[in-house]
Amino acid sequence: MVSIAGHFNWTHAVYFGLFAFIMPVYFLIFVCLLKLRTSDALFKTTFYAILLQHSLADIIAMALYAFQKISYILIPGFIYNNQAALASGKTPLPLISSTYLFSVFYNCFFWFIIIRSNGVALMTIHRYLIIVKSNSNFSLAIQQSRSFLVWTIYWIPAAFFDGILYSDSTVRFDSVENLKNVVKPETTLKSTIVCISFLSISCTVCVICYILIIKYIREKSSSMTKSLQRELRLAFQVSFPFGAQLVLLCFMIFANLYAKTGNTEMMVYIRDFFPLANGLLSFISPFTIILFNKDLTRRIRTMITGKKDPSPPRESIGSFS
């Protein structure tokens, strides 16, 4: 029997409490946005195409972490026995799935940190192009991007890097009682450094974009249109996931620093906060959508209540599919 105390602490309790509240809300937003993109021209823009993919990544990331922790308690024997069977050559699962089942439990967090950091960077770059460079040829081309191209840019590069950099299949569990990951030190170091690098690049891109947006707004403050104000609200929506990404980056830097200096006590202490540092990147998004995206919030409320929206349709700067 796996010890619950060994896999759960107060940070996990907070995570699951937030998960139980936020997941249904986020899933509702995702479903409504998916439906609106087929029926409402306002939501057939590149920004909402990216937001849809990012929402899906957030939902998968939250669900994967919850599934992993719950499976440790509910099916520890199934997980560990497949590992033992694989080692003896008598695996009850197909060979490929058995080989990678255990490494997936370790690597999936890094996969979705890379994917979501890519998503935050893409949404921030899009905000910069729409607000600051709305009439440039490149911006117009981005605004006219098809949904499949957005899907490709969002998922394929990140998945490619994940497949190359997080493909170590040597990860194992120590025992059926603990189910602690046994990972080579060099694998842990590489995983952490790569994650910090991707987060740093994404944060740097976001900082540059926001500095240029602020500079532009200061110059145009006396002649700001309603359409530009709406695009700025969407920039505020994206800025909070960027802030959550900064928190995760700081967490990863300190965890790596304590590991390198051999400060075991602080390393164990700070790792207890991983559920919150990792979860914050996904938990914050539905709140920012509700607070800053009035168009989407209004449409969702209309879809839930069934009452017709009295407000007229509004045009976005980047109003292309």
Q: What is the CATH number of the domain that holds 97?
A: 1.20.1070.10
Burial of 18 (0-12, 13-18, 19+ CB in 10 A): middle
Query: Please, which pLDDT band fits residue 101 given cuts at 50, 70 and 90?
Result: low
| Residue 173 structure tokens | 């569990």
Q: Does some domain include residue 131?
A: yes
For 90, the domain range is 4-305
Find tokens 């919150």 and name the residue.
276
Buried b (16+ CB within 10 A) or exposed e, 243-282: bbbebbbebbebbbebbeeeeeeebeebeebbbbbbbbbb
Handedness of CA 164, 170, 175, 180 (dihedral sign): negative
The answer to whether residue 313 scores a pLDDT higher than 60 is: no
pLDDT of residue 283: 95
> What's the total number of domains in the chain?
1
Lowest-confidence segment of 3-12, 115-124, 161-170 by average pLDDT: 3-12
Q: Does some domain include residue 111?
A: yes
pLDDT of residue 315: 47
Distance CA 136, CA 142 (A): 10
Q: Does some domain include residue 167?
A: yes
pLDDT average, residue stretch 218-244 = 88
The answer to whether residue 97 scores a pLDDT higher than 50 is: no
The amino acid sitting at 56 is L
| Mean pLDDT across the chain | 83
The answer to whether residue 279 scores a pLDDT higher than 50 is: yes
Find tokens 């603990």 and name the residue.
178
pTM score, whole prediction: 0.86
Q: Does some domain include residue 315?
A: no
The answer to whether residue 219 scores a pLDDT higher than 50 is: yes
Distance CA 162, CA 39 (A): 34
Q: Does some domain include residue 313?
A: no
Query: Please, which pLDDT band fits residue 41 given cuts at 50, 70 and 90?
Result: confident
Burial of 73 (0-12, 13-18, 19+ CB in 10 A): middle
Q: Does some domain include residue 158?
A: yes
pLDDT of residue 319: 42
Angle between helix axes 274-292 and 10-39 (nearest 10 degrees) is 40
Lowest-confidence segment of 61-70, 86-95, 180-189, 260-269 by average pLDDT: 86-95
Who wins on pLDDT, 140 or 172?
140
Distance CA 76, CA 72 (A): 5
Q: Does some domain include residue 253?
A: yes
Looking at the DSSP bridge assignments, the partners of residue 182 are 172
The answer to whether residue 210 scores a pLDDT higher than 90 is: yes
